[in-house]
Structure 1
Amino acid sequence: MRISVLGRSVILVSVTPEAAAEPALRHNRPYVLLMAGRTTQLIGSGIGSFAVPLIAYALTGSVAQAGVIAAIGQIGGLVMTLPTGVLADRTDRRKIIVAGAAIGAACWGWIAVAGFLGWLTGWQLAAALFVSSVIGTAVGSAEAAAIPYVVPVTQLPQAMAVVEGRGAVASLLGGPVGGLLYSVARMIPFLANAIGEFAILVSTFFIRVPLNDHHDGPREHPLRSLAEGLRFCWSVPLFRAAIGLFAMVNLTINAVVIAITLHLVRDHTTPFLIGLLDFVMGAATLIGSLFAGRLLNRFRVATITITALALLSVGIAIMALAQSYPVYLIMFGVPILLAPALNAGLGGYVAAVTPHHLQGRLSSVLSLTFLLSAPLSPVVGSQLLAHFGLGVTLWVLAAALAVTTVLVGFMRSLRQVGLPSTWVHHKITWPAPGESPER
């Protein structure tokens, strides 16, 4: 699960009457191809990700070592997130996606073959996860930057809601399908991961329009380009305040997921039932995405954010009290219903007001909200579980999320994000390097 909070200081601009006459998104061929390929890739990745802790535990026999392997797999994405954002703004985004998907397909294809032949080790799995996180970050930055380029500003809220929905579909299918495939043969989920990578390669190959601006003449140094992106994000009060707090939110929630997953593995719970947890989270996200637009049109993002985090805190505390599988199912579902409105609202707003030439760097910097916590979540969840048991682990994580929720409630800049009806009237004017931003 990923929850992120974003924001911008804005400048009023005019909106042309033609903006309201844009064709429906389903007739936007580049957008449809991007969505189809990325959705298939995410489904394959979800199926493969389900098998990772199970295979890691089978290879090592230790929940602690299994958590370390999962953490190593996240380091590549953390290290490369800012460079890939620069790359997405300086290089043909279509080529980035195609090349990254080719590497990913080859990587997971090899892991599946090595597993079938009995050659797979924990270190090989960790290396595959590391490479996958690097190329996944590059592909994600390029695709995220391409969406605002091919979608009109007036349709970005709808487009971002579809992005939330596709993630929900991937979560909905990844766990149960992964569990079923794992029951047939342990390496089949990794083969599905390779097929998903190949799917986005093919779909993106058939996109015949540019996904970023053409640059003539000399380009600035990559470090200067990165510095510009960082200055742009640092100029936004909401982002400065939110990145640390929401890294903590993601760390806590994902630590809960890994702790409960490893607890169920250790208790010899069937893979299908473990995968059902992902199914419930995916179903809740999909249902939430269906009414996310209505919520955003009625409530400010601050209200949705605080309510969602409070529900999650209470849900983790209830799981700590009950420690039963049916309660895990319910508490993994109900609090997540508000997450799509939160993510789609702020994600659409930020994409709408950010200049096209900064979209890649914006995406990479904002990804730090999630990636800063990604390597720590498996370690925190697994180590707390190994040393203190599930009950103490859940109480500690519930308390951490409750404190974070209180701090988020004091973020004045979060309360200043308006309703979606105001987004099309705002856009940031970002100057050339060395000039002062307009205010």
Structure 2
Amino acid sequence: MTNNDDRALALPAFRLFLTARTISWAGNAITLVALPVLVFQLTGSPALTGLLTATEALPYLVFGLPAGALADRWDRKRVLVVTGAASGLVMASIPLAASLELLTVTHLFVAALGVSSLFVFFDAAGFGALPELVGRNRIPSATGTMVAFGTVISLIGPAAGGAIAAAVGPALALSIDAAAYLIAAVLTAFVHWVPIASPGADVPLTAAGLVSDIADGIRYIWRTEIIRWLTLIGAGASISGGAMLGLTIVAGVEQLGMTDDDPRLGLLYSATALGAFLVSLAVSRIQRSVGTGWITIAALSISWITQLVWAVNTSIGVGLVVLAVFQAASTLAIMNGIIVRQSLAPDHLQSRVNTTARMIAWGGTPLGAMLGGTLAEHFSVTLALVVCSLGTALGLAIAVGARLWRVPTLGALRSEVT
């Protein structure tokens, strides 16, 4: 059982921070369905629908390194507030353009690119803010709680998003996300925590200094063996994840027989949220009792098998179960990597280490989304998903080849560092 000292929810500041994030996630869950539906309605193209996912992932590859280094220098709370508010304004431009009959596919992609670019800086600040807010010993509890709340919203949000998009149109549904971003930014402004000063943060920033800061983060990742392996493994698995996400709507229409305005499309995303939620409740206990390496090997194995089943499935009921299991395994692997990084990295390297690792680990997402969309358009959804699942197989091969089963539990890893 977890001691009260380890419970992040015991902290009022964390509860307010969590409230703000939950409101934002509620809007995001609706957009998760409404935006690809809007693209598919306007174009009818699986390739462009898959390209949307690639567009949303691309900014991490471009801005991940400098964003992490800058967030370690800047006021992380201010970054969270400004990027959240700006995201709300960008998202609001879509329903506004639609109401004026000026909405185009180009506008959708530019808006998705803008929000995703802002997210890179938001994410970098969030990585560093969490240890400051809750303390190092509460990181597993805080991360698990945030994922649990986020996935509860994701259970309801996508289904609601599908229904709302069908009732009022996907463009208008996006206005909810815009409002959620703005409300969350205001609440975050009232969260109080004491920032941890970064060595050299008061030194004027130069191009050479920024490069040096980025290099410090990269060196730490490479020197820390378990973080290095988890990052490389994530890069392969993200190819498969990009294809799975980018082709969710397309698979629902072409394999499961839904229409492009079927409210049940939201259930596909809700199924994945259920899997993530169940894992989030258990991740702290799993990490206390199971070796970090075995967690990775088991999660990748299950993820690969379920991807292959999803590729040939034509039943909605079976599909929902498969998606839930897939996302449970995928989320376990992702959370395991994040918690390990946040638990081991020094405070002044938190943002750059985590954004750099996520940038590398997510590097395959746009490739998987584009490759999956292209293969689905010219061949079939089944072939696209099978081919892209090889990314997870590659990650599994790396994990076994590196003999990660030897890596101990998170607690033992922390003891070794301290």
TM-score (norm: length of structure 1): 0.86
How far does the alpha carbon of each residue in 1:239-294 deviate from its partner, in whole angstroms, 9 at most, with x for none? 33343332121111230232242133455255321110111111111122222233
1:18-417 equivalent positions in 2, closer than 5 A = 22=5, 24-186=7-169, 187-213=171-197, 217-219=202-204, 221-265=209-253, 267=257, 268=259, 270-412=261-403, 414-417=404-407
How far does the alpha carbon of each residue in 1:181-200 deviate from its partner, in whole angstroms, 9 at most, with x for none? 10122223311211221132
Change in 2 beyond 3 A, CA 1:69/1:317: closer
Q: Identity percentage over the alignment?
A: 23
Q: Judge conservation of contact 1:44–1:196 (CA < 8 Å) in 2.
A: yes
Bigger mean CA offset, 242-251 vs 143-152: 242-251
- C-alpha deviation, 1:361, in angstroms: 0.5
Change in 2 beyond 3 A, CA 1:297/1:237: closer
Quote the Cα distance in structure 2 between the aligned partners of 1:283 and 1:217.
44
Q: SS at the partner of 2:408?
A: coil
Quote the Cα distance in structure 1 between the aligned partners of 2:70 and 2:308.
42
- C-alpha deviation, 1:120, in angstroms: 0.7
Q: SS at the partner of 1:323?
A: coil
Q: Judge conservation of contact 1:157–1:420 (CA < 8 Å) in 2.
A: no
How far does the alpha carbon of each residue in 1:118-169 deviate from its partner, in whole angstroms, 9 at most, with x for none? 2110111111011101111111110111101122222222122113213322
Change in 2 beyond 3 A, CA 1:34/1:366: farther
Q: Judge conservation of contact 2:310–2:323 (CA < 8 Å) in 1.
A: no
Q: Judge conservation of contact 1:74–1:371 (CA < 8 Å) in 2.
A: yes
Q: SS at the partner of 2:380?
A: helix
Q: Judge conservation of contact 2:231–2:337 (CA < 8 Å) in 1.
A: no
Change in 2 beyond 3 A, CA 1:208/1:309: closer
Quote the Cα distance in structure 2 between the aligned partners of 1:67 and 1:345.
27
Structure 2: stretches of 5+ with no match in the other structure: none
- C-alpha deviation, 1:379, in angstroms: 1.0
- C-alpha deviation, 1:416, in angstroms: 4.5
Bigger mean CA offset, 110-119 vs 393-402: 393-402
Q: Judge conservation of contact 1:146–1:212 (CA < 8 Å) in 2.
A: no
- C-alpha deviation, 1:222, in angstroms: 1.7
Quote the Cα distance in structure 1 between the aligned partners of 2:317 and 2:64.
37
Quote the Cα distance in structure 2 between the aligned partners of 1:102 and 1:322.
41
Q: SS at the partner of 1:249?
A: helix
How far does the alpha carbon of each residue in 1:390-424 deviate from its partner, in whole angstroms, 9 at most, with x for none? 22223323444334322322223x33542243355
- C-alpha deviation, 1:88, in angstroms: 0.9
- C-alpha deviation, 1:371, in angstroms: 3.1
Quote the Cα distance in structure 2 between the aligned partners of 1:57 and 1:270.
10
- C-alpha deviation, 1:173, in angstroms: 2.7
Bigger mean CA offset, 179-188 vs 87-96: 179-188
Structure 1: stretches of 5+ with no match in the other structure: 1-19, 429-439
1:4-19 equivalent positions in 2, closer than 5 A = none
Change in 2 beyond 3 A, CA 1:416/1:362: farther
- C-alpha deviation, 1:113, in angstroms: 1.1
Quote the Cα distance in structure 1 between the aligned partners of 2:27 and 2:166.
16
Change in 2 beyond 3 A, CA 1:369/1:416: farther
How far does the alpha carbon of each residue in 1:305-343 deviate from its partner, in whole angstroms, 9 at most, with x for none? 222221222222223343332222111112433445444
Quote the Cα distance in structure 2 between the aligned partners of 1:33 and 1:346.
26
How far does the alpha carbon of each residue in 1:212-255 deviate from its partner, in whole angstroms, 9 at most, with x for none? 42767524622221222222222222333343332121111230
How far does the alpha carbon of each residue in 1:78-109 deviate from its partner, in whole angstroms, 9 at most, with x for none? 21111111111011011111111111111011
CA RMSD of aligned residues (A): 2.4
- C-alpha deviation, 1:49, in angstroms: 2.3
Change in 2 beyond 3 A, CA 1:256/1:399: same
TM-score (norm: length of structure 2): 0.90
Bigger mean CA offset, 325-334 vs 265-274: 265-274
Query: 1:13 maps to which residue?
Result: none
Query: 2:417 maps to which residue?
Result: 427
Quote the Cα distance in structure 1 between the aligned partners of 2:45 and 2:309.
27
- C-alpha deviation, 1:373, in angstroms: 2.0
